[in-house]
Structure 1
Amino acid sequence: MSSFTAKDVQSLRQATGAGMMDAKKALTENDGDFDAAAKWLREKGLAKAATRTDRENEQGAVAVAREGDAVALVELKSETDFSAKAEDFVSLTTRLAEAVVARGEGAVSELADEVDQLKITKKENIEVGKVVRWDVPEGHAVDSYLHVQDGRGVNAVLVELDGGGQELAHDVAVHIAFTKPSYLTRDDVPSDEVEAERSALTDITRAEGKPEAALEKIVEGRLTGWFKERVLLEQNFVRDEKQTITQLLGGSSIVRFDQVVIGG
């Protein structure tokens, strides 16, 4: 016959986040062995958590970290902002980013047990989302920007420049956070997307009754506006809209950028 006390049940609940009846059952099934009961609860919880993997998880938190010449960005996804704003969730997101910057993208596996435990305690489809790590060459400028809302990172940016300095890299990172570009250059935009938009703009412009002779010029002008919404180098700088990002860079160039927007 298993032997355990109410205090044992309470300790197991605190350690695992399980309900009272589940904790009591776990101790009963495992003859009062605390570690075995905790493992039993975790296995049961993970089995149940596996049924939630098809549920949308567009909330979460994002963190950035830097160590020497390396920078990292890690997203931890959840179903609700309530879970994502909790201290344990934010703390784990930060530790994931720190592990990745120190030991590489595969380091997220080191914290897999803690991610699994969050799945169980939060009863949500929680998983690691985007993971990015860069090693930045000497002479390149790198900066990050993290917008924090309700205690969690919700908009994170990494940007690397060839030439220029830290201040310029920071200005570009802040700009990206606001404008959320999808591509660095016009050539990066998939050609099928461009042709689909050109076709749609042609139909719209023609339906407006614009002269056929002026149609191509009007469409190309509108397409330029479409590119400005998506292409970083063609955007007007948010702090001085009289110059584009290309003009802001001067002799410098953007090597790469990355961004995660929670819920975006």
Structure 2
Amino acid sequence: MSFTAQDVKTLRESTGAGMMDCKKALEANNGSIDDAKQWLREKGLAASAKRDDRENTQGVVALVVKGNIGAIAKLKCETDFVAGSDAFKAEAETLANLVADKGVDAVAERAAQLDDLKITLKEKIELGEVVRIEAAAGNIIDSYLHVQGGRGVNGVLVEMAGATTELAHDVAVHIGFARPRYLAREDVPADVLDKERATLEVITRNEGKPEAAIPKIVEGRIGGFYKDICLLEQPYA
């Protein structure tokens, strides 16, 4: 054997691979730790490619605010077990800080680390939404991160003019819980509104309402739809 138990331990600590995999890697590469790392990486990426068709509905949201800049990064995985792991959460934090410091395109710098994470955690892992806001001079930026099970699951950044930090934070919290999709009713796309109106017409008709009354009833319900999806229509606003 051209390697020692210490070599196996060193390889495990640097790659996160299992003991038997580390032994196989060292055996296949004449005890060279560097070559064994590359071997594990190649084998791991081949295995991770087979996981690409899996759904990754779990994940973690990381959020940072630095002065007048705020950034959010979402990292997706398959299970809540991996989502709650220290290595996974740390990578999300690193990504959010990188975005805040350098911009959204900087996430490309972490491509190799994300590949390594796929190998170590043995799941389909990919970057989700990435957001960066740089507040204009004199504006306030604040945030809210909803934490569940020890990890961020919903992040909000708010930029406001002529407001206090406390108000901006309160609005961010409200958005985090109410989850409006638009600022005002004027921002709702026509196709979204038309689809909802058509759905409400069918529902109202199926309820047996008089045909002549349906348009008025639908318009009343459209008002409720606006309250659900528009921030400025909601009670807090």
Matched, 1:90 2:89: yes
| Matches of 1:204 and 1:51, distance apart in 2 | 44
Unaligned 5+ runs, structure 2: none
Q: Which runs of 5+ in 1 are unaligned?
A: 238-244, 246-264
What is the one-letter code of the residue matched to 2:201? Answer: T
Provide the C-alpha distance between the structure 1 equivalents of 2:218 and 2:29, rounded to a whole number of angstroms.
72
Q: Secondary structure at the match of 2:183?
A: coil
Q: Secondary structure at the match of 1:142?
A: strand
Task: Please tell me the root mean square deviation across aligned C-alpha atoms, in Å.
Answer: 1.5
Structure with the largest fraction of strand: 1
Query: What residue is the counterpart of 2:80 in the other structure?
Result: 81
Higher relative contact order (CA 8 A, sep 6+): 1
Residues 7-29 of structure 1 show CA distances to partners (whole Å, capped at 9, x for unaligned) of 21222122212222321121122
- Percent sequence identity is 57
State how far apart, in whole Å, the 2-side matches of 1:126 and 1:228 are.
36
Per-residue Cα deviation, 1:120-165 (whole angstroms, up to 9, x for no partner): 1111111111111111111111111011222211111111112212
User: Cα 1:208–1:150, aligned 2, differ >3 Å: closer, same or farther?
Assistant: closer
Pair 1:158-2:148 in alignment: no
State TM-score, norm by structure 1: 0.85
- Inter-partner Cα distance in structure 2 for 1:73 and 1:93: 9
TM-fit CA distance, 1:176: 0.5
Secondary structure at 1:130 match in 2: strand
- Displacement, 1:203? 2.4
Q: How many aligned positions are there?
A: 237
Q: For 1:95-117, what per-residue CA distance to the aligned partner results, in whole angstroms no more than 9, with x for missing partners?
A: 11111101111221222222111
> Match of 2:139, as an amino acid?
H
- Partner secondary structure for residue 203 of structure 1: helix
Cα distance in 2 for residues equivalent to 1:58 and 1:207: 35
Normalising by structure 2, we get a TM-score of 0.94
Aligned position for 1:204:
203
Residues 65, 142 of structure 2: 8 Å contact kept: no
Amino acid at match of 1:62: V
1:243-262 to 2 correspondence within 5 Å? 245=237
CA distance in 2, matches of 1:207, 1:154: 38
Aligned position for 2:35: 36
Q: How far off its partner does 1:211 sit? A: 3.1
